[in-house]
Every structure is written in C-alpha cells, then in structure tokens.
C-alpha cells in the first residue's frame, strides 16, 4: 500500500523556501518535503514520503518532546545551536523551528536553518562577483600579457647559453615562472570561452576509461586507479570531449590531493533515481546516472569546502582554483549536478547526469 500524504502540497511558497523544510505527521513520518529538503537529504520527495523522519535526520536534541510540545501548545518552538546530520555527512550546527499547522495540528513543520548559511551565501556572492570580474579582466589582458611573456622566455633562454651554471639557475627560474603564468592565462581563457556542449548519447564508461588511461600514463602514474562500474548503466546525454575533461580534472584533483605518497583512486558508477534537479519551470529532471571519484587523501580544508567549485578557490599551494570551477560549469551546462563529501582519508566527488532519451544521436554518428 502506497503512502498518501495527509496534507496537500503547500504550493509555490513551499517550493521556493531556500531552507530544508519537512511536514511531519503524528507518527513522526515525513508527509511532505520541499526541494531544499530533497537536496539536503539527497533524495526525492517521492522516496521520502512516509519514511520515519528520524531514520533520515539525526538531530542532537529531544525531538519527540519538542514535537509533542509544539502540538500540545499549538505554538512554534525554536531550538538553537543543534547538531544535525543525515548520517552520510559531518554534523552541521543548525537552528530549528517547529510549528504546528493551524488547520491540522497533527501536522508539524520542521524548518532547518544551518547557522552559517547566511555567511556562506554572502561569501559565495562575493567570490562569484570578484571571480567574474577577475576572469573578464584576465581574458581582455591575456593576449597582451602572453606576448611579452614569450619575449621574456626567449631572452632568458638566450642568456642561459652564454653564462655559467650558477647564473643559469636564475634564467631557468625565469623560464619556469613565465611558463607557469602562461599556463594560468590559458586556463582562464579556457574557462571564459568554454563552448556550449554538443549533446549526444555517450557511454559513461568509455569516457571514464579514456580518462583513466590518460591519467595513468601522466599525472597519476604512481597511483592505483580501481574501477567499480555498473555495466548496466544506459548512456547519458553529453558532449563526450567535455565529459572526459570533467573526469580528467577530477582524477587529477584526486591525484594531486594524494601528493608524493601516492594512493588509491576509485572510479564508481551506479544508478540511483533519488535525485531530481528542479528547474525554474516544469516538474524537474531525473539525474539517475552517478559517477563517483573517490580518493584517500587528506580531505578538503573545512574553511574552503563550501566554495570549492568557485573560481580561484584552491586548497593547494600554487593552485589556480580553476579546475573544479571548470568541472562545475561543464556539469551545469549539461543539466547535471556535482557535489562533494570530504573527510580526512576519504573525499568523494559525485557527478549526477541524466539518461539519454531513446533515439538520441550516438557519439559515433
């Protein structure tokens, strides 16, 4: 027997709430969940309906008592500085609001407000604005900067031919640093001029395998890359070259996280229908194809974890912070979703993509 919500869908305001919100019935089951709540639990409203709420939310507070008080008093209740986790991520300190619905007191709304959300939103907006300005300026100046840099490199190489070994170290440093700047400018240009994807039916495992082989003969030569593939996955709708670029960047990021000690990278694919990406119009889009790139490195520094996909945010010394920003942009252009979970010893980048509609042009056509 399927679960039927005892309360009607709350409508546009409910769907527009930026914070995770849940309607909970008298048996402590989830009656409704808004889109922000779906993302918070990484599950769809359909799969969550009728599920005991505290099977999916772990809250360090006497919630049964709090729900009972809100119902009996028919008044809202606030709990501040409470640790909340889904069981799959570290606890987040939140403020909770519990309020009974006026026309059905048995139904209680639980609103979860992570304490740092305002700060993260503010920082995100600042980063996006400054990054956009910086990228635009770099694009305008790239050509003018690259020309004199090429001249500097050539002059340093000519000087190195007529000087001793000690002075040659200085000219080598000049050449090395100018090449590093040129590489950064090329990355900025690539980020700013990324073309729209040419979407065709693409076999995810073919793209992953090409990226894996390329990595093993290059930047990941000293590492072990393991495959955990679901061979039954249908093709996705993607630009094959851009998808391979995403996988290469994520594998490179995992390899660089391991550093000189080496390590293991796992490439995992599976099918999961729990995530739907809701657009501005329409009921949403299912993203059931999952690709995970998992490394056993030290993890992402907590102070940058919330902004890791923003341009110029990097946890590595001399890192440009453009690789993951480019990955995020490509996945967004494909109508997909990317998320990260990180703790010391285990970092997971999870890409969610749609299934290619039947009759889609194949990448080989």
Strand partners, 276: 286
Domain with residue 16: its CATH number is: 3.30.450.20
Domain boundary residue among 99, 115, 131? 115
What's the token pair of residue 90?
């570290």
- pLDDT per position as a tens digit, 121-174: 444 444 444 445 555 555 555 656 666 777 787 887 888 887 877 777 788 888
Q: Which of 88, 115, 142 is the last residue of a domain?
A: 115
Q: How many domains does the chain have?
A: 3
Q: In CATH, what number is assigned to the domain containing residue 164?
A: 1.10.287
Same domain, yes or no: 86 and 219: no
* pTM, full prediction: 0.54
Same domain? For 172 and 218 the reply is no
Please tell me the distance from the alpha carbon of residue 345 to that of residue 338, in angstroms, as a whole number.
20
User: Residue 364 domain-assigned?
Assistant: no
Torsion of CA 147, 150, 151, 157, to 10 degrees: 180
- Are 310 and 322 contained in the same domain? yes
Residues ≥6 apart with Cβ < 8 Å to 223:
216, 255, 258, 262, 263, 264, 265
pLDDT digits (tens, 9 = 90+) for 175-202: 887 777 776 666 666 655 667 888 999 9
Domain annotation covers residue 359: no
Mind listing the pLDDT tens digit for each residue in 32-60?
A: 998 888 888 878 888 888 999 988 888 88
Whether residues 345 and 247 share a domain: the answer is yes
**Domain that residue 264 falls in:** 200-353
Q: Tokens 């960047």 belong to which residue?
A: 249
- The answer to whether position 282 is within a domain reads yes
Considering 69, 88, 115, which residue would you say is the last residue of a domain?
Answer: 115
Query: Which of 76-90, 167-181, 266-280, 311-325 is the least confident region?
Result: 311-325
- Strand-pair partners of 340: 349
* Alpha carbon distances (Å) from 173 to 49, 85, 153, 166, 168: 62, 49, 10, 12, 8
Q: Which of 201-215, 242-256, 262-276 has the lowest mean pLDDT?
A: 262-276
Is 63 within a domain?
yes
- Taking a C-beta distance cutoff of 8 angstroms, is the pair 201, 361 a contact? yes
Q: For position 187, what pLDDT does the model report? A: 62
How many CA atoms lie less than 13 Å away from 36 in the CB half-sphere?
Answer: 16
What is the three-state SS of 130-153?
A: HHHHHHHHHHHHHHHHHHHHHHHH
**CA-based torsion, 240, 244, 250, 251: positive or negative:** positive
135 and 152 housed in the same domain:
yes
């Amino acid at each position: 027997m399927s679960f039927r919500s005892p309360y009607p869908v709350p409508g546009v305001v409910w769907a527009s709430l930026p914070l995770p919100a849940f309607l909970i019935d008298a048996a402590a089951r989830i009656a409704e969940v808004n889109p922000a709540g779906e993302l918070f639990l990484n599950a769809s409203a359909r799969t969550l309906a009728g599920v005991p709420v505290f099977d999916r939310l772990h809250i360090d507070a006497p919630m049964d008592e709090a729900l009972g008080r809100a119902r009996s008093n028919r008044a809202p209740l606030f709990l501040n500085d409470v640790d909340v986790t889904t069981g799959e991520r570290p606890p987040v300190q939140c403020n909770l609001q519990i309020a009974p619905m006026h026309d059905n007191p048995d139904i209680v709304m639980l609103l979860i407000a992570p304490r740092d959300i305002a700060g993260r939103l503010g920082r995100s907006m600042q980063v996006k604005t400054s990054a956009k300005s910086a990228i635009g300026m770099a694009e305008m100046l790239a050509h003018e900067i690259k020309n004199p840099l090429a001249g500097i490199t050539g002059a340093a190489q000519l000087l190195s031919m007529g000087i001793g070994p000690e002075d040659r170290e200085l000219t080598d440093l000049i050449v090395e640093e100018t090449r590093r700047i040129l590489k950064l400018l090329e990355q900025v240009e690539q980020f700013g001029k990324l073309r729209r994807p040419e979407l065709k039916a693409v076999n995810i495992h073919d793209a992953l395998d090409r990226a894996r082989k390329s990595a093993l003969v290059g930047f990941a030569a000293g590492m072990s890359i393991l495959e955990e593939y679901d061979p039954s996955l249908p093709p996705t709708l993607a630009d094959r070259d851009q998808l391979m670029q995403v996988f290469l960047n994520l594998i490179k990021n995992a390899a660089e996280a391991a550093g000189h000690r080496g390590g293991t990278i796992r490439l995992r694919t599976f099918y999961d229908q729990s995530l739907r990406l809701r657009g501005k119009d329409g009921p949403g889009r299912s993203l059931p194809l999952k690709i995970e790139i998992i490394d056993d490195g030290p993890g992402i520094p907590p102070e940058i974890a919330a902004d890791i996909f923003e341009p110029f945010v990097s946890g590595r010394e001399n890192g440009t912070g453009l690789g993951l920003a480019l990955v995020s942009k490509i996945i967004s252009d494909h109508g997909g979703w990317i998320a990260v979970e990180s703790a010391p010893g285990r970092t997971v980048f999870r890409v969610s993509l749609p299934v290619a509609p039947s009759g889609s042009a194949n990448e080989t056509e």
